[in-house]
Copies of this chain bind each other. A is one copy, B any other.
Amino acid sequence: MDSETIQVTTGGRPATVDITLEARSFVRGRGDGLLSIFVPHATAGVAIMETGAGSDRDLLAHLDTLFPRDDRWTHRHGSAGHGSDHVVPAFIAPSITVPVLGGELQLGTWQSIVLVDPNAGNSKRTVRFSFVG
């Protein structure tokens, strides 16, 4: 297995970051296998979804609806409502795999690989790519 990490700038606000190009670059020339995308953070996840037509903004807005930033959370570190950031990764997991054939991601036309980071407390994140042939 080959594995490496990249650094992603989220800017210190709730963010989605399209990392498809980085993933594509990582698998190029590797033949057939599975790409694992893993985020080693407790308040971020990885999604495969359409970007560029508003759905990434829709996702961030809907996270605030489904996981309200109020005082219901017993996790009290950080800013108010930060407890919700720690529950989101149970639903948008920090780990996903994508099949690769001939060094090409087998994504559909409208699919992108997206780092989902509701946590405004960090401006940089690490993403690990690993390839099993």
How many copies of this chain does one complex carry? Answer: 3
For the complex, would chain A's binding face be called helix, strand, loop or mixed by DSSP majority? mixed
Nearest chain B CB to A43's CB is how many angstroms away?
Answer: 8
If A58-B73, A58-B87, A77-B53 touch, does A42 touch B93 (CB 8 Å cutoff)? no
User: A133 at interface (Cβ–Cβ under 8 A)?
Assistant: yes
State which of A6-14, A18-26, A95-103 sits at the interface with chain B: A95-103
User: A111 at interface (Cβ–Cβ under 8 A)?
Assistant: yes
Task: Write the residues of chain A forming the contact surface with B, with a CB cutoff of 8 angstroms.
Answer: 1, 3, 32-34, 36, 38-42, 47-50, 53-55, 57-59, 61-62, 66-67, 72-77, 83, 86-87, 89-99, 101, 106-111, 114, 116, 126, 128, 130, 132-133
